[in-house]
Structure 1
Amino acid sequence: MSGVLVVREAGFAPVKGMRHLALRAVDLDVRGAVGNRAYCLVDVARARVLRTVQHPSLIAITARELDDGLALTLPTGETAYAPAAPAGETLRCDYWGRQVGLLLTEGPHAQLASDFLGTEVRLARAPRGGVVFADPVTVLTTASLEAVGMRAESARFRATLVVETDEPWVEDDWAGRLITVGGATLRVGGPVPRCAVVDHHPVTGVKDVRLLKRLVRERPTNRAGEPMFGVYATVVEPGRVDVTP
């Protein structure tokens, strides 16, 4: 079974955990959205990738990957911009229980982020898919967002794509289904478990709602008690996906 869906939003964060960018289009290949989580911040002393749920102020930093470098911008407007040149040092880090090889970089980004977060970090280039939790694409539906009153703040869920539907929660039955989005074809996987990141404002990172508790009451949960919202997907046919306003 297959279906063609209208894409209303698309986005990702070039640096894991930083502000989710709303984009006019994304290019999807077998490893997901090109440019998604190309970098991450690392606690070198602990050999650990920073997790957004433990450092929600990451959300307030805007990262943009440009042709000749990476720009990080704080809420104050202070910016670090330079080529994120590899330092030649590879560090194996823990990312949710698995080891991933990351290439540490030089430049002003680390100091800017360290001062803002209040903890010493380094910027590292990640292999494609290296700091992605499960399947590389996540999909939300407009009707489900409206059902929880979050259509205007969909960025809380940091989805790759938001697609148009009339009925909420129809995506719960999409497992295994092929869907067409723009020039790409996806195979839908399982549901996406949600954590406390959804309680934090998608621009400031400040905790301002109790959405997670509401989802626990209203949505199916996994064995860890995490509520399901949205679905994972893999890319079957790569292609460009344009947003329809």
Structure 2
Amino acid sequence: MVNKVVTGKIHEIIRYPVKSLQGERLRNTNIKEYGLYGDRSHVFIDETKKKKYYMATYNQKLLSYRAEFAGEDKATEYPDVKITAPDGRTFYWHEQACLEEFKQLTGENQLYQKTFTPQHVPIGPIEEEHILILTTSSLKALERKIGTAIDWRSFRPNFIVSLDDDTPFIEDQWFGKTMKIGEVELQIKRHCERCTIVNIEPDTLKANTNILKTIVKDRNNYFGVYASVIKTGKVSVGDEFSII
């Protein structure tokens, strides 16, 4: 029996220059050995925390700030990171005002910043694998189950993909397979286990607890899949892919 090749297109590309802040939607990006160029390359550190990275699980207000690179990709150093506060104020990662803003927000005076390099971002800041993928069909299925629209940003994906065969949760069958996007190759590794952050709408910070409850009940708390990078290259919105 020959397995059917799954095909589709890249629907959205999202990068998060600062861990736990909102990210930026991209038309195209470079895939490095660690994932999207610059993804989670800037982090807040709190040595008193178990994982040392200060995350939105400790303070959900981080989710209402947005980070983006203010310039083109550079090989040896990142462009400046521009941060937009929920009230519309803007400042940059390298400015003292940035650290003071987040110390005040979190109440953690021991907080400090760390920036990795374009050549290497370790797995810790990027979560548990290089790239997180969601499918539009699974998102729509979850919306139907809950009975309301869902802001996909709450799931913090890197890729949202649309499938030619619009079957919800077909990604459960992808583990160990290869996603080919032009010259880029990714290996689909495993499920993404979810936490309460999926309940939070990033702009308003309002919570819909039915989201996680439904994922726990119907999906064993899994939604989305992780992939690791096999071959690097460039990807763009609209690129066709295949799962083989």
Which residue number in structure 2 is paired with residue 24 of structure 1? 27
The counterpart of 1:37, out of the listed 15, 40, 62, is 40
1:235 Cα deviation from its structure 2 partner: 1.3
The counterpart of 2:112, out of the listed 122, 132, 138, is 122
The residue type paired with residue 89 of structure 2 is E
Contact 1:137 1:232 in 2 (8 A): yes
Q: Matched residue of 2:44: which SS? A: strand
Per-residue deviation, 1:139: 0.8
| Matched AA of 1:128 | V
Task: Indicate conservation of the 8 Å contact 2:17/2:81, yes or no.
Answer: no
Work out the CA distance in 1 between the residues paired with 2:70 and 2:11.
Answer: 24
Is the Cα contact below 8 Å between 1:5 and 1:180 reproduced in 2?
no
- Alpha-carbon displacement from aligned partner over 1:2-51 (angstroms, at most 9, x marks no partner): 65430001102100000132222221122111110011112256582112
The aligned residue for residue 211 of structure 1 is 211
- Is 1:185 aligned with 2:178? no
| Aligned pairs (5 A) from 1:96-107 | 107=96
Which amino acid is the alignment partner of residue 203 of structure 1? D
CA distance in 1, matches of 2:185, 2:204: 34
What does residue range 125-144 of structure 1 map to in structure 2 within 5 Å? Answer: 125-126=115-116, 128-129=121-122, 130-144=124-138
Mean CA deviation greater in 54-63 or 66-75 = 66-75
Contact 1:11 1:160 in 2 (8 A): yes
Q: Is 1:41–1:122's contact at 8 Å kept on the other side of the alignment? A: yes
2:42 maps to a residue whose letter is Y
Structure having the larger proportion of residues in strand: 1
Q: Could you list the per-position Cα deviations for residues 96-129 of structure 1 after superposition, in whole angstroms to 9, with x for gaps in the alignment?
A: xxxxxxxxxx632101222233333322213513
CA contact (8 A) 2:23 2:68 kept: no
TM alignment of 1:159-178, pairs within 5 A:
159-165=157-163, 166-178=166-178
Q: Hey, what's the Cα distance between the residues in 2 that align with 1:161 and 1:229?
A: 13
Q: What SS does structure 2 have at the residue aligned with 1:201?
A: coil
User: What TM-score comes out, normalization by structure 1 length?
Assistant: 0.80
Q: Matches of 2:10 and 2:17 in 1, distance apart?
A: 20
Kept in 2: contact 1:24–1:242 (CA 8 A)? yes
Equivalent residue pairs, number: 217
Shift of 1:183: 4.0
Partner residue, 2:152: 154
Q: Comparing 119-128 with 157-166, which one deviates more in the overlay?
A: 119-128
- 132-141 vs 62-71, which moves further: 62-71
* Residue 98 of structure 2 is aligned to residue 79 of structure 1: no
Q: Specify whether residues 151 and 237 from structure 1 end up closer, same or farther in structure 2 by C-alpha distance, changes over 3 A only.
A: farther
Cα drift, residue 168 of structure 1 = 0.1
Where structure 1 has 5 or more consecutive residues not aligned to the other structure, the ranges are 85-105, 222-226
1:91 alignment counterpart: none
C-alpha distance after superposition, 1:72-103 (max 9, x if no partner)? 22111122226x2xxxxxxxxxxxxxxxxxxx
Over the residues paired in the alignment, what is the CA RMSD in angstroms? Answer: 2.3
Identity fraction in percent:
25
1:56 aligns with 2:67: no
